[in-house]
């Protein structure tokens, strides 16, 4: 493989705004034809970085090179030929037509005393074709919908015929269909025209699913820069964004995806610090009934396990995403003795057993048997009786009978999962 040309190189970049350091010693380089996403919370310096690379902001320390040349030696028109920015939003002061707006992208190529030439018109119509706005080329920009407007702005940037496209949250105020449409356009420009794409996306998943490399920015510094597989994980997201997330895999694309975990404990005034981290809790799973409890207890800091769950059950996904130990059974099969024994092992080593409002059939009846054994051996059992047992008994009364015995034997009954934490 031939060595690719460095199209952008940033060295020891510092930038302060009113004595606040916005960017702190940023160094990185980008090869031609890359697709890079910059992720970071608001105020991490993402937009500042874009504005510095496009020379809209000045007064930085360090060095920025585009196309191998220091931007300090380039005038604004030269830079606009190499770097095109796609902003989040543009609002022209006058009612220009779509074609007029797109033609403004040719500004770097037209001399002050010159006029638009044939080449300019060709490039403009090419850009309008790629963004599918030719049919309304003569309509007023102000009369378009948000998605259409953004396509016009995209065409304007394409008319700059630049090798770098800098995307500054270009789709953040658009609906998901437009976000996908734009992402496909970016990908195709990247592949077919070898355009280097450097983007700020407010949707983390959109970014990690499509870019080759990701830069995580935190408080004006590069936290990490590398492939999504290497740098996106629960810890890095937690550290950069301060939010608790699952990092799972998209079942279709097999790519990473990030999903927020809301900590219900916070809402109920029980902080992680007060939770007894050594208290082991085992939760009976099935049909997704255990997922909210697993999330609640896990995020509150307890040591949680779960079983027995069938493969393909939502509770299993939850357990896997949270990294909770679990006992599993083949899909749609009754619980085998092996699994039941494993489950009992977990129960024995736990301090508290929680029985959420699981639906019982003959297949998972043995889970109820395991709970009965637990309470008989003196374990603390909490039953979440959110739904009447009669409605979730599909065994013809067997489950209901055993369930009532568990309660009679001294299980703590709560009416909703909200009350579980207080009873632990």
Partner 1 sequence: MGTGRKTIKYIIVLLIILIVLVIVAASIGAAKVSLKDTSLIIASFIPGVNNFINIEDLNPQDIVIISQIRLPRIFLSIFVGIALASAGVIFQGLFRNPMADPFVIGVSAGAAFGATIGLVFITGVGLLGISTTTIFALLGALVTTFLVYSISSARGKVSVTTLLLSGIALSAMLSSMTSFIMIFRAHDLAKIIFWIMGGLTAASWYKFNIIAPMVVVLIMISGFYMRDLNIISLGDERAAQLGVQTDRVKKILLIIASLIAALAVSISGIIGFVGLITPHILRLIVGPDHKILYPTSAVAGGIVLLMSDTLARTILMPREIPVGIITSIVGVPFFLYLLVKSKKQVF
Binding site for partner 1 (CB under 8 A): 51, 54-56, 75-81, 84-85, 87, 90-97, 99-101, 104-105, 107-108, 110, 112-113, 115-116, 121, 142, 156, 160
CA distances from 294 to 90, 288, 406 (A): 45, 10, 21
Query: Which residue, 95 or 336, has its beta carbon nearer to partner 1?
Result: 95
Provide the angle, in degrees to the nearest 10, between the axes of the packed helices 365-376 and 337-348.
30
In contact, 36 and 198? CB cutoff 8 Å? yes
Query: Shortest approach of partner 1 to residue 104 CB, angstroms?
Result: 5
Query: Which residue, 90 or 145, has its beta carbon nearer to partner 1?
Result: 90
Strands (E), 55-205: 61-66, 69-70, 83-86, 164-168, 196-200
CA distances from 276 to 272, 280, 281, 351 (A): 9, 9, 11, 11
**177 vs 281: CA distance, rounded Å:** 43
Query: Which residue, 20 or 91, has its beta carbon nearer to partner 1?
Result: 91
Query: Which residue, 171 or 299, has its beta carbon nearer to partner 1?
Result: 171
Query: Shortest approach of partner 1 to residue 98 CB, angstroms?
Result: 13
Query: Shortest approach of partner 1 to residue 133 CB, angstroms?
Result: 16
Query: Shortest approach of partner 1 to residue 170 CB, angstroms?
Result: 13
Query: Shortest approach of partner 1 to residue 51 CB, angstroms?
Result: 8
Query: Shortest approach of partner 1 to residue 96 CB, angstroms?
Result: 5
State the virtual CA torsion across 348, 362, 327, 368 in degrees, nearest 10: -20
Query: Which residue, 102 or 207, has its beta carbon nearer to partner 1?
Result: 102
State the virtual CA torsion across 38, 41, 42, 45 in degrees, nearest 10: -50
The closest alpha carbon to 256, from 223, 210, 216, belongs to: 210
CA 120 to chain centre: 39
In contact, 295 and 266? CB cutoff 8 Å? no
Query: Which residue, 96 or 223, has its beta carbon nearer to partner 1?
Result: 96
Residue 184 CB burial class (10 angstroms; 0-12, 13-18, ≥19): exposed
**294 vs 247: CA distance, rounded Å:** 16
Query: Which residue, 121 or 332, has its beta carbon nearer to partner 1?
Result: 121
Query: Shortest approach of partner 1 to residue 156 CB, angstroms?
Result: 8
């Amino acid at each position: 493989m031939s060595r690719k040309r460095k199209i952008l190189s940033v060295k020891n970049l510092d930038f302060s705004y009113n004595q606040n350091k916005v960017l702190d010693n940023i160094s990185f380089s980008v090869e031609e034809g890359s697709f890079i996403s910059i992720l970071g919370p608001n105020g991490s310096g993402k937009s500042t970085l874009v504005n510095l690379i496009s020379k809209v902001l000045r007064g930085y320390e360090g060095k920025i090179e585009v196309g191998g040349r220091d931007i300090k030696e380039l005038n604004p028109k030269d830079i606009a030929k190499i770097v095109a920015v796609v902003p989040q939003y543009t609002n022209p002061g006058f009612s220009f037509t779509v074609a007029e707006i797109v033609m403004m992208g040719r500004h770097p190529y037209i001399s002050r005393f010159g006029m638009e030439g044939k080449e300019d018109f060709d490039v403009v119509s090419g850009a309008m074709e790629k963004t599918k706005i030719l049919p309304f080329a003569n309509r007023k920009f102000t009369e378009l919908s948000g998605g259409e407007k953004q396509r016009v702005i995209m065409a304007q940037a394409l008319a700059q015929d630049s090798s770098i496209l800098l995307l500054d949250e270009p789709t953040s105020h658009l609906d998901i269909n437009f976000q996908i449409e734009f992402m496909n356009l970016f990908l195709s420009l990247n592949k077919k025209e070898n355009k280097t794409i450097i983007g700020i996306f407010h949707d983390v998943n959109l970014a990690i699913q499509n870019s080759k490399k990701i830069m995580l920015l935190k408080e004006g510094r590069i936290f990490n820069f590398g492939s999504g597989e290497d740098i996106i994980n629960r810890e890095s997201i937690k550290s950069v964004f301060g939010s608790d997330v699952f990092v799972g895999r998209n079942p279709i694309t097999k790519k990473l995806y990030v999903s927020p975990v809301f900590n219900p404990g916070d809402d109920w005034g029980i902080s992680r610090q007060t939770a007894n981290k050594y208290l082991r809790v085992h939760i009976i799973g099935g049909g997704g009934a255990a997922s909210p409890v697993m999330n609640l207890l896990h995020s509150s800091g307890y040591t949680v396990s779960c079983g027995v769950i069938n493969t393909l059950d939502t509770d299993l996904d939850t357990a896997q995403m949270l990294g909770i130990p679990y006992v599993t059974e083949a899909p749609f099969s009754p619980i085998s003795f092996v699994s039941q024994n494993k489950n009992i092992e977990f129960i024995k080593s736990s301090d508290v057993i929680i029985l959420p409002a699981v639906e019982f059939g003959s297949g998972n009846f043995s889970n109820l048997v395991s709970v009965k054994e637990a309470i008989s051996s003196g374990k603390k059992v909490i039953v979440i009786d959110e739904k009447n047992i009669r409605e979730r008994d599909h065994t013809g009364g067997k489950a209901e009978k055993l369930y009532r015995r568990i309660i009679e034997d001294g299980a703590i009954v709560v009416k909703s999962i909200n009350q579980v934490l207080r009873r632990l």
